[in-house]
């Protein structure tokens, strides 16, 4: 079986609450067996490819019995997966760092700890973790505040990111998928698939058509003196701009941006990716430079919304039916038995998994 390597964005209703303990324990067990089956037959890199595909990720959550369209499937599934492979990371050559809220801020430390134990250079992985978060919070401004960041990687340095943002106004959460092997640039179309139930307006500086805007923004930040940039920004505050911006011109205070603009001018980043990666350069700084780029220099960024997504299944909330605990436990046991036969010859092992599939189908 070959699996698409497309990555993208999922758009889910914002649901509160968490999986009950009886379900989460089973999710951990079944996630472990499924992960073992995939890694044994296809390798850890294939697990990254599948998790980075929004449809497959959603289906995985459904198989584990979670709500088919809840925002909680992201945090719960990532948490269950991290718990599932605990103690097996070196055997699987697969590692999971980060998580929800405060745990997400521990991602660089967790990456470095695992890298130290496996003689892996952590720098490219830490950079990928930081830049993927920067892009989805500052370069793509769609009204969603990131609150979950899970970084997965292998002993060969392959990586994937699953992160999610929350929009309290429309009560939706948006999930962003990244796959390192499919990435040619952090700032030019890094998401190769974009899916969601609804479309809105967003500042998308990583769209291909935003390339002139990225160049102009970098030039403004490095070649113009900060005083000139601030003068442009003060003029913007008197305009009546269309309501497409989640961060309005009225939210941008020139005086509060002076330190950041002085820093970018002094440090002279060579391109938009370096500018975006600078400490202190966040959504408001990027928005301000984008507005100046558009108004003063006539270089408009893309406002194409990177979202269109839909998927359906049932689970925790009884839709389309309540989780059948007995069947769930049988599935875990059957899959576990199949995995334990992994020491058999390849053909025998695949035959065992084929029998398991036929049992599950019945």
Per residue in 240-264, pLDDT tens? 444 444 454 555 555 656 777 777 7
314 has a pLDDT exceeding 80: no
> Between 253 and 303, where is the model more confident?
303
The pair of three-digit structure tokens given for residue 187, joined into one six-digit string:
């700032």
Of 116, 123, 131, 205, which Cα lies nearest the Cα of 161? 131
Please state the rounded mean pLDDT for residues 133-160: 92
Q: DSSP character for 86?
A: T
Cα–Cα distance list, 117 to 89, 113, 120, 152, 227 (Å): 11, 7, 8, 16, 49
> Between 323 and 125, where is the model more confident?
125
Please state the rounded mean pLDDT for residues 31-42: 89
CA distance 125 to 131: 10
Average pLDDT over all residues of the chain: 76
pLDDT tens per residue across span 64-103: 876 545 567 888 899 999 999 999 999 999 999 999 999 9
Got the DSSP string for 186-210? SSSS--S----S-----EETTSGGG
Backbone angles phi, psi at 248, to 5 degrees: -85, 165
Predicted pLDDT of residue 308: 34
| 183 touches 200 (CB < 8 A) | no
Please state the rounded mean pLDDT for residues 100-117: 95
Pairing, β 203-204 against β 145-154:
unpaired
- Residue count (the chain): 362
195 has a pLDDT exceeding 50: no
Predicted pLDDT of residue 51: 92
Model confidence at 320, in pLDDT bands (50, 70, 90)? very low
Please state the rounded mean pLDDT for residues 302-319: 45
> Between 108 and 236, where is the model more confident?
108
- E strand or H helix at 100: strand 94-100
Model confidence at 168, in pLDDT bands (50, 70, 90)? confident
CA distance 24 to 19: 6
188 has a pLDDT exceeding 60: yes
**Distance from first CA to last CA of the chain, Å, rounded?**
21
Backbone angles phi, psi at 150, to 5 degrees: -115, 130
pTM exceeds 0.75? no
180 has a pLDDT exceeding 90: yes
Backbone angles phi, psi at 98, to 5 degrees: 85, -165
> Between 41 and 324, where is the model more confident?
41
At 34, is the secondary structure helix, strand, or coil?
Answer: helix
Model confidence at 284, in pLDDT bands (50, 70, 90)? confident
Q: Which residue has the tokens 């270089």?
A: 299
Percent of the chain with pLDDT over 70: 66
| 50 touches 56 (CB < 8 A) | yes
The pair of three-digit structure tokens given for residue 64, joined into one six-digit string:
């584990």
pLDDT tens per residue across span 323-355: 666 666 766 776 777 677 654 554 555 565 565
Model confidence at 222, in pLDDT bands (50, 70, 90)? confident
Predicted pLDDT of residue 1: 30
| 105 burial via Cβ count (<10 Å: 0-12, 13-18, 19+) | exposed
Note the Cα 235 to chain centre separation in Å. Answer: 36
At 29, is the secondary structure helix, strand, or coil?
Answer: helix
Alpha helices in 247-310 (DSSP H): 254-267, 272-277, 283-297
- E strand or H helix at 141: strand 140-141
193 has a pLDDT exceeding 70: no
Predicted pLDDT of residue 295: 59
Please state the rounded mean pLDDT for residues 272-282: 84
């Amino acid at each position: 079986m070959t699996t698409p390597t497309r990555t993208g964005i999922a758009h889910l209703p914002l649901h509160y609450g968490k999986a009950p303990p009886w379900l989460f324990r089973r999710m951990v067990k079944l996630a472990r067996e499924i992960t073992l089956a995939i890694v044994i037959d296809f390798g850890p890199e294939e697990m990254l490819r599948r998790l980075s595909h929004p449809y497959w990720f959603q289906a995985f959550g459904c198989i584990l019995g979670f709500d088919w369209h809840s925002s909680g499937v992201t945090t719960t599934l990532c948490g269950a997966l991290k718990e599932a492979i605990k103690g097996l990371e070196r055997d699987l050559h697969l590692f999971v760092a980060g998580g929800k809220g405060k745990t997400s801020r521990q991602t660089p430390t967790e990456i470095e700890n695992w890298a130290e134990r496996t003689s892996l250079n952590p720098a490219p992985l830490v950079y990928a973790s930081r830049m993927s978060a920067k892009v989805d919070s500052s370069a793509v401004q769609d009204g969603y505040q990131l609150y979950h960041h899970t970084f997965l990687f292998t002993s060969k340095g392959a990586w994937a990111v699953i992160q999610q943002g929350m929009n309290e106004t429309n009560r939706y959460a948006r999930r962003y998928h990244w796959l390192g092997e499919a990435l040619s640039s952090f700032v030019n179309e890094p998401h190769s698939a974009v899916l969601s139930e609804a479309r809105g307006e967003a500042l998308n500086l990583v769209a291909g058509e935003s390339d002139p805007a990225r160049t102009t923004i970098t030039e403004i930040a490095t070649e113009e003196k900060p005083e000139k940039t601030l003068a442009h920004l003060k003029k913007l505050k008197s305009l009546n701009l269309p309501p497409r911006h989640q961060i309005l011109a009225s939210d941008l205070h020139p005086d509060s941006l002076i330190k950041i603009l002085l820093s970018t001018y002094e440090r002279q980043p060579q391109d938009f990716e370096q500018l975006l990666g600078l400490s202190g350069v966040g959504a408001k700084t990027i928005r301000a430079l984008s507005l100046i780029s558009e108004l003063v220099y006539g270089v408009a960024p893309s406002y194409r919304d990177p979202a269109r997504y839909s998927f359906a299944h049932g689970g925790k909330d009884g839709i389309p039916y309540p989780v059948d605990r007995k069947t769930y436990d049988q599935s875990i046991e059957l899959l576990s038995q199949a995995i334990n036969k992994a020491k058999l010859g390849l053909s025998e092992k695949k035959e065992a998994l084929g029998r398991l599939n036929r049992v599950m189908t019945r």
